[in-house]
């Protein structure tokens, strides 16, 4: 147990240190003091209600995409398509929200739209799943390519038929809207944070249960770790992979409701804003564990929001650099840490 914890926690800690050092260097190249800048970053994010609300909002989307990528990785699949799965999910949710009449009960409308989001993402996720199982097509390239295809398709649909003139978004939904936090907690006034956070946390919890306490989760992890052993044990590897890819896509699709149902109330071109790709970073730093993902999502959201807060002292582009540094650092330290820890422990003699 302790070994697993070590292997899990060392890389993000290392990455954090590396990022801090890089941050220090870049901040100093701007003639600023790192301490001042970091303090301003924290004040602007966790230090005030609006900033914190923004952090929560961004972390919510990242939680979904991070969970999506992490479940794929647990099954041995690399889902780089979270960006388009997110968009497809948001689109279908927005479509349903538009189609439902305002008199339809909200208590049914919201779950229906949430389901629509999951279906949207799941459909997109099914494509690489099917191609992998049936043809052995590598899901990394398929998902990357599919991103472009799906986004272009969505663009064609919205730009052609569904957009409000002079804008890049669909008309506002008539039903299915999710309340902002500011309607309960006035301090959050102005921030985009909404009750989707609850959905995100529930999803994380359910995913944890599924992965570590259910039979299908046991099989999924087995397939991800040693597919030949899973096969020997009678697990149907192909259908497990297919299920994992659909699940991954569906979770990413769910992320779409944060913007579409909770924030703006419509689907907009480009609303995903890179959250799909950042989800990969979140999954990586969160070590593919639901709890880790939530924490990592908060971290990256803080970084992102923090960039805006320190704008006066240092360009917010600093944050973009740090994001890349963190991902690279974690990617580099995972195998290093693993082999270092393995060497340090010896197998127990019979």
Partner 1 sequence: MEGNGQTELIEALSGLRPIESGLIRMGGHDVTRKNVSERRDSGLSHIPEDRHRRGLILDYSIADNLVLGLQDSYVQRGLLDGKRITANAKEQIEAFDIRPPSAEIPARNLSGGNQQKVVIAREMGRPFSVLLASQPTRGVDVGAIEFIHSELRKARADGKAILLVSAELNEVLALSDRIAVMYRGRMTRVMAASEVTEESLGEYMMGTRKDSAA
Partner 2 sequence: MNPISFLTQMLRIAVPYLFAAGGGVVAERAGIISLALEGFMLTGAFSATLGVHYTGSPWIGLLCGIFGGLIFGLIHAVATIRYRADHVVSGIAINLLAIGVTRFFLKLAFDSSSNSPRIEGFGGNQAWYGFDNPLLWMGILVAPVLAYFLYRTPFGLRARAVGEHPAAAASVGVKVAKVQYIAVATSGMLAALGGVFLALDQHQFTDQMTAGRGFIAVAAVIFGRWDPVRAAIACLFFAAAETLQIQLQGTQLIPSQFIVMIPYLLTIIALAGVVGRAVPPAALGKTE
The stretch near partner 2 (CB under 8 A) out of 140-148, 196-204, 206-214, 240-248 is 140-148
Locate 83 and state its tokens.
């960006």
Work out the angle at residue 225's Cα, subtended by the Cα atoms of residues 224 and 230, and round it to the nearest 5 degrees. 80
Cβ closest to partner 2, residue 30 vs residue 212: 30
Mask of contacts with partner 1, 172-211, x by CB under 8 A?
-------------------------------------x--
How big is the site for partner 2, counted in residues (CB under 8 A)?
Answer: 47
26 binds partner 2 (CB under 8 A): yes
Q: Which of 71, 220, 251, 334 binds partner 2 (CB under 8 A)?
A: 334
- What does the chain come to in residues? 350
30 binds partner 2 (CB under 8 A): yes
Cβ closest to partner 2, residue 228 vs residue 232: 228
Which residue from 300, 316, 319, 297 is spatially nearest to 308, judged by alpha carbons? 316
146 binds partner 2 (CB under 8 A): yes
Mask of contacts with partner 2, 277-296, x by CB under 8 A?
x--xx--x------------
Mention every residue, 6+ apart, whose C-beta is less than 8 A from residue 68: 79, 82, 85, 121, 248, 249, 250, 251, 252, 255, 279
Indicate the SS3 state at residue 194. Answer: strand
Cβ closest to partner 2, residue 108 vs residue 149: 149
Cβ closest to partner 2, residue 29 vs residue 36: 29
How far apart are the C-alpha atoms of 240 and 216, rounded to whole Å? Answer: 8
Mention every residue, 6+ apart, whose C-beta is less than 8 A from residue 73: 79, 224, 283, 288
Indicate the SS3 state at residue 177. Answer: coil
236 binds partner 1 (CB under 8 A): yes
Partner that binds at residue 222, options partner 2, partner 1, none, CB closer than 5 to 8 Å by kind: partner 1
Q: How far is the CB of 204 from partner 2 (least distance, A)?
A: 22
325, 330, 331, 333 alpha-carbon torsion, rounded to 10°: 120
Please, which of residues 213-232 interact with partner 1 by CB under 8 A?
213-215, 218-219, 221-222, 225-226, 228-232
Cβ closest to partner 2, residue 136 vs residue 234: 136
Which residue from 67, 63, 57, 113 is spatially nearest to 90, judged by alpha carbons? 113
Indicate the SS3 state at residue 180. Answer: strand
How far apart are the C-alpha atoms of 177 and 266, rounded to whole Å? Answer: 9
324 binds partner 2 (CB under 8 A): yes
Locate 172 and state its tokens.
């506002």
Q: Which helix (H) or strand (E) holds 139?
A: helix 139-157
Residues that bind partner 1 (CB under 8 A): 1, 3-4, 209, 213-215, 218-219, 221-222, 225-226, 228-236, 345, 347-350
Residues that bind partner 2 (CB under 8 A): 26, 29-30, 78, 80, 131, 134-138, 140-142, 144-146, 148-149, 152-153, 155-156, 159-160, 277, 280-281, 284, 315, 317-325, 327-328, 331-336
């Amino acid at each position: 147990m302790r070994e697993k914890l070590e292997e899990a926690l060392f890389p993000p800690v290392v990455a954090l240190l590396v990022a801090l050092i890089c941050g220090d260097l870049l901040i100093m190249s701007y003639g600023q003091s790192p301490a001042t800048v970091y303090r301003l970053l924290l004040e602007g994010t966790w230090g005030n209600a609006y900033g914190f609300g923004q952090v929560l909002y961004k972390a919510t989307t990242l939680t979904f995409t991070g969970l999506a990528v992490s479940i794929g990785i647990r099954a041995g699949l690399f889902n780089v398509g979270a960006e388009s799965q997110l968009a497809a999910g948001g689109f279908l949710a927005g479509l349903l929200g538009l189609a439902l009449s305002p008199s339809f009960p909200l208590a049914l409308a919201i779950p229906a739209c949430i389901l629509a989001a999951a279906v949207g993402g799941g459909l997109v996720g099914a494509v690489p799943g099917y191609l992998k199982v049936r043809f052995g097509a590598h899901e990394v390239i398929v998902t990357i390519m599919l991103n472009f295809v799906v986004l272009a398709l969505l663009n064609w649909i919205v730009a052609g038929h569904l957009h409000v003139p002079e804008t890049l978004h669909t008309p506002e939904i008539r039903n299915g809207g999710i309340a902002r936090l500011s309607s309960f907690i006035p301090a959050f006034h102005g921030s985009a944070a909404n009750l989707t956070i609850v959905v995100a946390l529930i999803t994380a919890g359910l995913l944890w249960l599924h992965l570590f306490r259910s039979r299908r989760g046991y099989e999924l992890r087995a397939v991800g770790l040693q597919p030949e052993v899973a096969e020997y044990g009678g697990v149907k590897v192909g259908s497990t992979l297919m299920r994992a890819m659909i699940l991954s896509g569906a979770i990413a699709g769910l992320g779409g409701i944060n913007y579409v149902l909770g924030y703006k109330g419509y689907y907009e071109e480009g609303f995903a804003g890179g959250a799909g790709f950042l989800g990969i970073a979140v999954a990586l730093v969160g070590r593919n564990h639901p709890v880790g993902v939530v924490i990592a999502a908060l971290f990256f959201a803080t970084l992102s929001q923090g960039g805006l807060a320190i704008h006066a002292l240092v360009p917010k582009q600093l944050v973009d650099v740090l994001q890349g540094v963190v991902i690279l650092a974690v990617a580099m330290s995972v195998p290093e840490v693993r082999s270092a820890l393995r060497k340090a422990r010896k197998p127990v003699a019979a």
